[in-house]
């Protein structure tokens, strides 16, 4: 039996916005990255490079936010399962953080490449 509710654009949008508001209230890392994103978007608009390079910078910047959201979801699920120290719980959280770190590194590398070679 399928426990999944039927798709409803308005309800699903409401769920997504609820998740966004929750993250904005509870996740300092996301708030900081969102603040940086504002300055990054302004920089992308101002910088004199091709549309393609601007798009690469925008996509990698938004990707940082997406991966941070997924990392927060992983952390919430792990905390739901156990509040006690568990090696696998720590590993799951650490791997999520590593994904964010790789994503930020990719974004920085793209900026360096665009600035140096555009």
The SS3 of residue 4 is: coil
Q: How many CA atoms lie within 13 A of 79 on its CB side?
A: 6
Span between the terminal Cα atoms of the chain, in Å: 55
Would you state the structure tokens that stand for residue 71, as one six-digit string? 């990392």
Catalytic residue among 27, 68, 75, 84: 68
- Based on its alpha-carbon atoms, the radius of gyration of the chain, rounded to whole angstroms, reads 18
Q: Is 68 a catalytic residue?
A: yes
CA-to-CA separations, 99 to 7, 72, 82, in angstroms, rounded:
30, 11, 22
Q: What is the three-class DSSP state of 37? A: helix
Looking at the annotation, which residues are catalytic?
68
């Amino acid at each position: 039996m399928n426990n999944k509710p039927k798709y409803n654009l308005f309800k699903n949008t409401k769920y997504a916005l609820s998740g966004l508001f929750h993250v904005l209230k509870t996740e300092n890392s996301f708030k900081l990255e969102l603040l940086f994103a504002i300055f990054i978007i302004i920089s992308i608009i101002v910088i004199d490079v091709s549309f393609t390079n601007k798009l690469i910078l925008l996509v990698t910047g938004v990707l940082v936010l997406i991966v941070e959201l997924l990392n927060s979801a992983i952390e919430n699920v792990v905390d739901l399962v156990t509040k006690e120290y568990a090696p696998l719980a720590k590993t799951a959280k650490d791997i999520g953080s590593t994904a964010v770190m790789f994503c930020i590194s990719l974004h920085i590398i793209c900026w360096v490449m665009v600035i140096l070679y555009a």
